[in-house]
Amino acid sequence: MAGRKIRVLVVDDSAVVRQTLADILDADPDIEVMATASDPFVAAERIRREVPDVITLDVEMPRMDGLTFLRKIMAQHPVPVVMCSSLTEEGSETLVEAMEAGAVDVIAKPRLGTKQFLLESGVRIRDAVKAAVRAKLGPVGRPPRRLAVEAKLSADVIMPPPAPTRALARTTQRVVCIGASTGGTESLRNVLEALEPDSPGIVIVQHMPEMFTAAFARRLDGLCRIEVKEAADGDTVLPGRALIAPGNRHMLLQRSGARYFVTIKDGPLVARHRPSVDVLFRSAAQHAGGNALGILMTGMGDDGAKGLLEMKRAGASTVAQDEESCVVFGMPKEAIALGAADRVVPLRLIPTEIMRMRTS
């Protein structure tokens, strides 16, 4: 995209939302809204004349819903698509289906009249578009249910203080901390489906809007042999369980004796996100030390890179996903550049890294 702006087609049945999204996107010097469309039929006609770099797509629209249109786009002329929705609880399952159908990301429609929400929405929407244009679009449709597990097996009100340089004493309890963003929903599914029921306890930050994480966790829970749930304040980290940070809330790892648990907190954006991977990783460095494994997966930006380095300095094992298997090689790239990753591995080997924690 060097030398020209990212061209975006905004598809939404609301004229007010179309204008709001256009204003938010056009405020970025690297993005231009080439056109807007009130429904998929108008959008299809516009695409026939000029193919955009990225499409933002509403879910509920007249004449054809966004999910149907998404599937047609991916079958006929794949273009990076960012789904844009009000994200009601009833619609969140549909948005999980949209990610499985090929959408690169999901963002919340900005609520009009709320200045802070509009400001934060602007950051999120522009970042989503910039990540989408870099995304490697894979084949549509679900891959096989299981991956082979080889080897048998910055705000002070949120961020805890830096971890001590000496790692905490090891215990029999291990904890795995995972961070992901763009492309992470399907990548996480691939990893979690491959895990055995006796896998170490896992805590996950996936950049997602409110209301989406609960549906995402329910979907994964039905597919995996481990338990997957949206984290609640005070939840214990247990073997065979994965806790996903709720959208729009930070999640921190805590320790009481040999018991690990999570706390869920409000607070400002950290590394441009809430939940933030850096928040989780930094808390893991402080409270888990050498008992932890940190994994940074596909995503745009640098959230998690500094936190992964803190985990490494506290004695944790650290892993970054490799470029070839990332949808967007942003967050892992930044961590590798900092020297934060002990190992750089493809997506298919991440389950192996996790299962090794049982005996490490």
CATH 3.40.50.2300 fits 6-134, yes or no: yes
- The answer to whether the beta carbons of residues 319 and 350 sit under 8 Å apart is yes
User: 249 — phi, psi (to 5°)?
Assistant: -135, 145
Residue among 85, 121, 181, 187 flagged as catalytic: 181
Q: Residue 279's CB: how many other CB atoms inside 10 A?
A: 30
pLDDT value for 161: 55
Q: Which of 303, 317, 322, 325 is catalytic?
A: 303
Average pLDDT of the segment spanning 283-293: 97
Query: Where does 175-356 sit in CATH, by number?
Result: 3.40.50.180
- Asked about 181 being catalytic, the answer comes back as yes
Q: Give domain limits for the chain.
A: 6-134, 175-356
Q: Which residues of 295-315 are buried (b: 16+ CB within 10 A; e: fewer)?
A: bbbbbbbbbbbbbbbbbbbbb
CA 235/CA 233 separation, integer angstroms: 6
Q: Write down the pLDDT at residue 258.
A: 86
Q: For the chain, what is the mean pLDDT?
A: 88
What was the pLDDT predicted at 171? 54
Model confidence over 182-236: pLDDT tens digits? 999 999 999 999 999 999 999 999 998 888 899 999 999 999 999 999 999 999 9
> Is pLDDT at 150 greater than 60 in this prediction?
no
- Which pLDDT belongs to residue 173? 84
Please determine, for residue 257, whether its predicted confidence score (pLDDT) is greater than 50: yes
The one catalytic residue in 53, 85, 92, 207 is 207
Confidence of residue 154 (pLDDT cuts 50, 70, 90): very low
Q: Does the structure show a pLDDT above 50 at 58?
A: yes
Distance CA 144, CA 193 (A): 10
Active-site residue flag, 207? yes
Q: Is 303 a catalytic residue?
A: yes
DSSP letters, 133-183, are HH-----SS---S----TT----TTTSPPPPPSSPPPP-S--EEEEEE-TT
pLDDT at 140 over 50: no
Q: Reply yes or no on whether the pLDDT at 143 is more than 60.
A: no
Instruction: Select the more confidently predicted residue: 287 or 171.
Output: 287
DSSP lists the bridge partners of residue 83 as 57, 106
pLDDT value of position 100: 87
Query: Above 60 in pLDDT, residue 47?
Result: yes
Confirm whether 6-134 and 175-356 share one CATH topology: yes
Q: Look up residue 216 and give its two tokens.
A: 């995402």
* pLDDT of the residue at 133: 93
Spatial separation of the C-alpha atoms in residues 40 and 65, rounded to whole Å: 8
- Of 32-36, 79-83, 347-351, 355-359, the range with the lowest mean pLDDT is 355-359
Selected residue with higher pLDDT from 331 and 155: 331
